[in-house]
Structure 1
């Protein structure tokens, strides 16, 4: 049975008996985890007293697919993202809840540092200066330029769920519930119950068109495979005007200009890098292209420092793994695909609206 939000503090107290806290805060909830903030945290163990932050985010995945991903998610963030310019959550403690490990339904607990800031939506964007907007593009570009250029066939990325089961061929779609192909298949299964009775004829035609377009994107052979965040909507991209610039997981920076934080990497998969650009246009129409330019700049610097091949970040991979597009053409097609994935995500939220009531009804056409 899924864990409830109310159970999370008790599970933390039972698992880490040295911890206590002053109060609990319930932040906005997502679809995949129960999340509680523990404020005024302290450890009763003397040698550990200085090793816990004042506030942590306690997360418990609802489903087995996300429970199995939790340790890998923490490991990837710790290993891979310190060189980027965004602030990301750092794992403080992680374990199976006491008494659940040898059961049929183990519970994974993760305590993370708080990434400060407010959702980077269109309203927040409107308050930023030109310099701050450039900072947003640069920092998001550093994250995507790093993630999207990693080799998906080498550890640790080779252990991340991929949209395809046949590597560079990209011909066999995954059925793992966390991957986009499996989510698309489930959306089709739920269409008769949750979509067809609730949409207009025009909307239904739009939905069929989008599904067909996503089918075409997934079916492309030898396409670029990249580590993707998977859900960079404004609620997971945070702007803090008082935070230091850069610093990765630690958040160490200059203190000037503000900085971006990115949270909730639980939907990380290896797939089409265009997915990570899907929501940027809802923040500002010019943001997707600006981030893509900065991702290319960051990648070129990273490639030069590591003696990587001198080729564009984005493009269609040939059978030999080479990149067949120039930088401009590759980025342009990424943004074209991103717009399709945004429409796909709107349909995903439409189903969730009628199935659970958690998501507002999106405008489709």
Structure 2
């Protein structure tokens, strides 16, 4: 899908309209989608961890008076990390907020373990629990490795290792290696599964909203984006440029459907260049449409550029041409009526010799026929007739 369609979807705030246009940064799209997916899970893990720690603090506070200041400081840091993670923008807020909350909670639990007679007995399950939460909530393996290394350094300091009898330290190392590998494999599997799922959704979105042959927005994308733009700015005027390839059936009958497809691709490229940055869509067959909601832009000028751009194309030795109908409507005119006005103007352009454009004024007067080369043709009044 072209940049105009992508911008209209973004400006209108349409949810779930993620597509994968040619040349797009797929990695960035995947990263954003994955981050949005794990955000609720990460916030839930942080909130649950903070709640468990506050409960632990309330139970152990009478016997931990000497470490109370450090525990309260860790609690404040963890709460700050959770609040930072709630901020949706910028993107780094979730990453750093999660890291701050996890490290603060790990340090708080480590402080509470110093009063325990067997700190290693409690530290190892806690490390495994933290590791599994990190594996579930990280969308990149390197981020998981960094977080796990920091949490492991917090729990497995020299004091805890020294409390383990010499003969049991190999068993401790074996348990740590097993816990790390289990968390790592879990994270790798989840990252690959999530990436594959989101890549498939991006591809399906492209198929749903992009014309496969030309790469332009398709009919569904055009109407959804146009209706959303109208709803977002109900008091704004908009214009439609409806275009139709002249004598397209003759191209198919004479040169075959392959030549017809080549003609459509060439026309789509010319229209994309001539209409940029506005939304250009293929509505079906040989019919295209350009959406213009910028009142500083002249719709007839855009239509004239489209007609002139296609006029320079040749396919199978045959020069291509296109006719256009332009309609500019007031805010209270529905999209269907605007399309009907543009279609009526297109009929007149076809009837007056093709390779030209007709403008339908919103006042209801007869539209003008605007030739692509004014020095060769003059404007003519619009008289009701049928399209060729």
TM category, shorter: under 0.3
> Which fold has the larger relative contact order, with Cα–Cα distance below 8 Å and residues 6 or more apart in sequence?
1
TM-score (ref. length: structure 2): 0.19
